[in-house]
Structure 1
Amino acid sequence: MRYHFEPPKIFSTAYGQTYECDHPVYNKCTLYLIGDKGLAVIQQKYVKETKSTYWTKIDPWLTDQLYLHPGFKKFFDERAGECVNDLYPTVTIRQIMWALKMKPIKRERWETCFDRRNI
């Protein structure tokens, strides 16, 4: 039995798009748009050389897995919003996977998390 969500060997990236903005936490995210509402999803990455982390768009193999999940639309309707100052409501990959009751991706020691609902 798998305890963590693992990347499939074959995947598509038909849903979600890369969105660049001037958010205080990140510069790129994966944006899901339905009508006038949008939801930005971010994932933390690690740079070995500098031992630093940054927030960016999610891995491409996760984009369709999230969007095609049966609970995504309900989560999207609860958390998404219209663009304000070029920014959309944002969630981390762990927040959305937890809410959709998906197996999480493997957690690394260097990862941090947000204590608040809104980022």
Structure 2
Amino acid sequence: MDMRYHFDKPEIYLSLYGERYICEHPVYNSCTLYRIEKRGLAVIQQRFDSETKSTWWSEVDPWITDALYLHPDFREYFEMRAGACTDGLYPTVTVRQIMWALKMKPIQKERWETVFDRRDI
């Protein structure tokens, strides 16, 4: 039985689902976009630059994309949170929000991470 607490990067992985999407969102300019028909859900992950000590949001690690999409509860979550594209933007969630909602083991939390204090980004 696997008792690891965190979702760890596998040695071998595919990234077939989700696409890198470039946009002009106030919080990020690239994300991982999951699209089903005319609706989409953008997922973002926080990054850190150790030189400048600055953080930014962008697409999620490629080794997580398929694990999210293939999760048995993904479609239900997508139906709840996804929406049509408005001014080039889709409804957005952080990778932690979706992993928590799907009851997946979280990715390792970094000291520098910040969180959104509201549901909608």
TM range (shorter): over 0.9
Q: How many residues align?
A: 119
Structure 1 portions without partners, runs of 5+: none
Aligned structure 1 segments of 4 or more residues deviating by more than 6 angstroms: none
Corresponding residue of 1:3: 5
The letter for the 1-side match of 2:5 is Y
Match of 2:96 among 88, 94, 97: 94
Give the alignment of 1:1-119 within 5 angstroms.
1-119=3-121
TM-score with structure 2 setting the length:
0.98
Structure 2 portions without partners, runs of 5+: none
Q: Supply the distance in 2 between the matched residues of 1:4 and 1:118 (Cα, whole angstroms).
A: 25
Q: What SS does the aligned partner of 1:118 have?
A: coil
TM-score with structure 1 setting the length:
0.99
CA-based RMSD: 0.4
Q: What SS does the aligned partner of 1:61 have?
A: helix
